[in-house]
Amino acid sequence: MYSVFKKMLLRLFPERCLMRIEFILRYLYSLLYLGSAVRCTICGGRFSGFIALASGDMLCPRCGSLPRQRRLWIILQPFIHQENRLKILHFSPSRILQKKLRRMNPSQYVTTDYDTKADTDKHYDITQIPEPEDSYGLIICFHVLEHIPDDRQAIRELYRITKPEGSIWIQTPFKDGDIYEDKTLTTVAERLHHFGQADHVRIYSAEGLVSRLKEAGFSVQAEQYGFDPVLGLKEETILICCKTKSQADEDQAGL
Ligand SMILES: [Zn+2]
């Protein structure tokens, strides 16, 4: 029903117009889910259930958040409170998370999306980021790298603009075994069939991506999170990548 309703609205109104009234429309739609069986960690709403999408994701009826966004919000809050002078770069953020994070007032919060139609501050190409080196204390990069043909170049750029001792939080869909990629698969149909989404160019394994991140110089910790039906959270792995100081920096600091 949700996808039918969404398609109908997109046929009737221009996307720009819908974006302006998105939060009102979602609030009205959430009235179909009155109840208290589940709770959204982002908007705080309680509902009879989440909206089950064809992808298997559970959408919040009121704020439209996905499980990975609700998880990110849970782990970000204490981190930002503790490090409130943090300068943050957020790739492809959801609108609701952008709104919440701006209210938390980190020292600088910059959002970016390659899609120029997205409502973000910047539209950076992740393989050529026009920012000086050592710029950001925290970079959030969820569901981005699996879209990038030259992901090693993107990872090098992320490393370059991260401050020493800063971190990048990365999440993508993962599979067991090795990374699955094949540069000869270029059509929409082929990528949909092989990678599960028309604009994906590979499926990572956590081990494979950790290895590519280490090649660029990051130290990486894979954090595992569990399923929670009440908060609508899925089992997932988030890679916390730190740009540790080089030995030369350590030596200089010791002088
Ligand atoms: Zn919500």
Gap from CA of 70 to ligand 1 centroid (Å): 8
pLDDT-derived band at 249 (thresholds 50, 70, 90) equals: low
Name the 3-class secondary structure at 44: coil
pLDDT in tens, 101-128: 988 877 799 999 999 988 899 999 999 9
Calculate how far, in angstroms, residue 132's C-alpha sits from the geometric centre of ligand 1: 36
> How far apart are the C-alpha atoms of 102 and 120, rounded to whole Å?
12
Structure tokens at 44: 């705080």
Q: Report CA(34)–ligand 1 centroid distance (Å).
A: 13
Number of Cβ within a 10 Å radius of residue 236:
16
> What CA–CA distances, in Å, run from 124 to 129, 182, 245?
6, 25, 26
Mean pLDDT of 18-26: 79
Tokens 């030259």 correspond to 150
Residue 26 Cα to ligand 1 midpoint, Å, equals 10
CA–centroid distance, residue 55 to ligand 1 (Å):
18
What share of the chain has pLDDT > 70, as a percent?
95
Report helix, strand or coil for 59.
Answer: strand
> Could you tell me the two tokens for 148?
């990038």
Neighbours of 59 (CB within 10 A): 20
CA of 39 to the centre of ligand 1 (A): 8
Question: Would the pLDDT of 254 be above 80?
Answer: no
Task: Look up the pTM and report it.
Answer: 0.86
Instruction: Give residue 194 CA to ligand 1 midpoint distance, Å.
Output: 32
CA of 135 to the centre of ligand 1 (A): 31
What is the C-alpha to C-alpha distance for residues 65 and 94, in angstroms, rounded to an integer?
A: 8
CA angle (233 as vertex; 78, 25 as ends), nearest 5: 95
CA distance 77 to 217: 27
Q: Tell me what pLDDT residue 245 has.
A: 67
